[in-house]
Every structure is written in C-alpha cells, then in structure tokens.
C-alpha cells in the first residue's frame, strides 16, 4: 500500500519535501469484528485546509496531522470489503480517506455513498463534494443573494470560486472575479460567464480595481482569500451588503498575518460578515445534489478540474495550491476503477 507520509510540522509555506512516499504491506480485508470498510482510493482532493493541519496549532475544526503518519483528505473510493451494514463491496463513496492506495475507514458513518455515476467520479472531490457544498451553502445560505445584485468572488477560478460565480450568474447577479493569472481571468469570463474579472497580481491598488469593476459598490463578497483584498472590499461595500468569510488563503502561511484595518466601514454600511464551516451544512447534501446535478447534466454549470496523475504527484499538487499552480479544482487521480 503506497502512502504519502507527512514528515514534521511546518511553520510557513508547505513544500514537496515535507512529504515522503512509503510502501506498507496491508491485508486487503476488514479485520474480523470490525464495522469498518476497506476502500480502494480512486481520486484524492487537494484542499487548502490541509496545509493548516501541517502546523503545530490546535486545529480549530479538524486536528493537525501526526508527524511520520499518512495524511488524510477528501477522496473518492470503491469499497473492497465491508463490516458495516450500510456498505457493501463495489459501492462508491466519498469522504475522508488516507493519501494511500487503500484505506481502512473506521468511521464509515461519515462517508457519503455515490448514487449518480453519469457524471465524472472525480466531481465528488469538487463540484459534488466538499467544495461544492461550500459554494452552495456560503452563497445561498450566508449571502442571501437577490437578482440584480453585484457579487465579487476572490480565488474565483478555484474549486469553490468558479461555482459561486456560476450560482450568482444563474441568480441573475452581476459577477466579478479575481484570480492570479491571465489564463484564469480568461476562464472566468469565457468559460464560467463572469461579467468581468481581473488579475490581482497585476493590480497595485485593490481599491482602485474594485472601484473600476463596481462603480456603485458591492452587495455580496464571497471571500476566499482574506488579507488586503478583504480590507479593500470593506471600502467598497454597499449598504446592507453581505460578506461570506469562507477562507483566507492569502494568510494561511504568513508568519505574521496581515491586519484588516477598515472595520469601521461595515458599521457605517450595515454590512453583515459571517464566517461558516462547510461541515455544518452536510445535512443539506441531498437538497444540494437535487439542485446541482440537473445543472451539470443540462450544462448550465460547467466545472474545470486540474488532474494530477499518480499518488507520487500528490505532494506537488497540494503545495501548488499556495502558488496558484492549479487551474480549477485540483484532483489527484490514483486509480480509475
């Protein structure tokens, strides 16, 4: 069983050398008297929260990784053996797996069964998995959008952002995204239907860029990056605007996180800012599938993935999230069936 092993806690940016690949012999069956399931992993998901688990801080939601152990993350897998009444050999599932070829899942209750296979299986790491529910809950539940509103999305070409932008367009909003390359800006405008987009790496002053895109201000900000962009957005919110604090990737690896200085503005503008954690919204999963699956089938929503091949390519793919190497949802394909 080939595995990706986490070497030791890190202080700032993760590097490929923070991981090693090891082989471990395992039995391809569930131990007797266990109600676990043994799965063969097919696709692994690279998600920004994973770098936070590489730090020796008490994870506020999920505990940190243990040095010299296999790392975990979301994935799609096929059940090979089951001691649990809800799962049988051959079932497809998504949920938290080890970064390894085969995983023994000891709490199978947390897995989601995959019933719809007419869409790519890898989608269950993205649009139909954790990032999909994040975009759905963050946009519809936290931002409470209305037709015609002005929506800004940062890290807009990523796993979550590309969906938020498309949900907003389906709602009849005016949507602008920021991303870190011309290629991504083109994708936002030409593939995902954003009304406008800009490359934040080429803007000297985010306030100026936002005023150019939103001369009358922003109603909704879906924040994936935090830091200076959030601070500039606070200068451009309209009265009764809403900000979904989804993530702050620009801050995760800084020794000294940047301060947000414009916090009086949301007071004057009566802006509601709300953080959320996707885990709280998993009970919405069935409703989410009912609304998003038809959109995929009817091609009302498209989804771009960046697929790295082989378990060995996993560490570079994961680390690449923090330099924007991924174009779309970063997936690692380790087996096809």
Contact set with ligand NDP (CB under 6 A):
47-49, 131, 134, 155, 157-161, 179-181, 184, 224-225, 246-250, 276-278, 321-322, 324, 326, 329-330
For residues 316 and 333, give the distance between their C-alpha atoms in angstroms, rounded to a whole number: 13
For residues 39 and 41, give the distance between their C-alpha atoms in angstroms, rounded to a whole number: 6
For the CB of residue 289, give the shortest distance to ligand NDP in the complex, in Å.
18
For the CB of residue 199, give the shortest distance to ligand NDP in the complex, in Å.
8
For residues 231 and 101, give the distance between their C-alpha atoms in angstroms, rounded to a whole number: 43
In the complex with ligand NDP, which residue's Cβ is closer, 102 or 281?
281
In the complex with ligand NDP, which residue's Cβ is closer, 87 or 221?
221
In the complex with ligand NDP, which residue's Cβ is closer, 103 or 326?
326
In the complex with ligand NDP, which residue's Cβ is closer, 106 or 182?
182
In the complex with ligand NDP, which residue's Cβ is closer, 41 or 250?
250
For residues 157 and 180, give the distance between their C-alpha atoms in angstroms, rounded to a whole number: 9
For the CB of residue 201, give the shortest distance to ligand NDP in the complex, in Å.
7
CA atoms within 13 A on the CB side of 140: 18
- Here the tokens at position 30 are 């569930």
Answer for the pair 97, 74: CB distance below 8 angstroms, yes or no: yes
Cβ-proximal residues to 212 (8 Å cutoff; 6+ apart), any chain: none
- Here the tokens at position 272 are 């509601």
Question: By C-alpha distance, which of 166, 107, 121 is closest to 139?
Answer: 166
E strand or H helix at 240: strand 237-245
In the complex with ligand NDP, which residue's Cβ is closer, 79 or 130?
130
In the complex with ligand NDP, which residue's Cβ is closer, 84 or 274?
274
Which residue bears the tokens 């015609």? 148
In the complex with ligand NDP, which residue's Cβ is closer, 80 or 260?
260
Query: Using CB atoms, what's the residue nearest to ligand NDP?
Result: 158
For the CB of residue 337, give the shortest distance to ligand NDP in the complex, in Å.
26
For the CB of residue 261, give the shortest distance to ligand NDP in the complex, in Å.
18
For residues 16 and 321, give the distance between their C-alpha atoms in angstroms, rounded to a whole number: 12
For residues 14 and 336, give the distance between their C-alpha atoms in angstroms, rounded to a whole number: 28
Please count the other Cβ atoms lying within 10 Å of the Cβ belonging to residue 323: 9
Answer for the pair 100, 73: CB distance below 8 angstroms, yes or no: no
Q: What are phi and psi of 279, to 5 degrees?
A: -55, -30
């Amino acid at each position: 069983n080939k595995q990706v092993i986490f070497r030791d806690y890190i202080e700032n940016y993760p590097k490929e050398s923070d991981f090693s690949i090891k082989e471990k012999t395992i039995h391809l069956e569930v131990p007797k008297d266990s109600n676990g399931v043994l799965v063969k992993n097919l696709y692994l998901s690279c998600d920004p929260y994973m770098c936070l688990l590489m730090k020796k801080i008490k994870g506020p939601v999920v505990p940190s990784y243990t040095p010299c152990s296999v790392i975990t993350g979301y994935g799609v897998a096929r059940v090979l053996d089951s001691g649990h009444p809800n799962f049988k050999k051959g079932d497809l599932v998504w949920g938290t797996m080890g970064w390894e070829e085969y995983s023994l899942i000891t709490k199978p209750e947390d897995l989601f069964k995959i019933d719809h296979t007419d869409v790519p299986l890898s989608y269950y790491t993205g649009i139909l998995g954790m990032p999909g529910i994040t975009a759905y809950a963050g946009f519809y539940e936290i931002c409470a959008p209305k037709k015609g509103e002005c929506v800004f999305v940062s890290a807009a070409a990523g796993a979550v952002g590309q969906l938020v932008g498309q949900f907003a367009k389906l709602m009849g909003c005016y949507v602008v995204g920021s991303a870190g390359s011309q290629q991504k800006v083109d994708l936002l405008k030409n593939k995902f239907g954003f009304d406008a987009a800009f490359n934040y790496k080429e803007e000297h002053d985010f306030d100026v860029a936002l005023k150019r895109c939103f001369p009358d201000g922003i109603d909704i900000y879906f924040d994936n990056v935090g830091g200076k962009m959030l601070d500039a957005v606070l200068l451009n919110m309209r009265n009764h605007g809403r900000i979904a604090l989804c993530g702050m990737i620009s801050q995760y690896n800084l020794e000294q996180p940047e301060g947000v200085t414009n916090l009086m503005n949301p007071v004057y503008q009566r802006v509601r800012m709300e953080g959320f954690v996707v885990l709280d919204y998993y009970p919405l999963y069935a409703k989410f599938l009912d609304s998003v699956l038809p959109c995929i089938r009817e091609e009302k929503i498209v989804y771009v993935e960046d697929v790295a091949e082989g378990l060995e390519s996993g560490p570079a793919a994961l680390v690449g999230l923090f330099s924007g190497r991924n174009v779309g949802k970063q997936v690692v394909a380790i087996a096809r069936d």
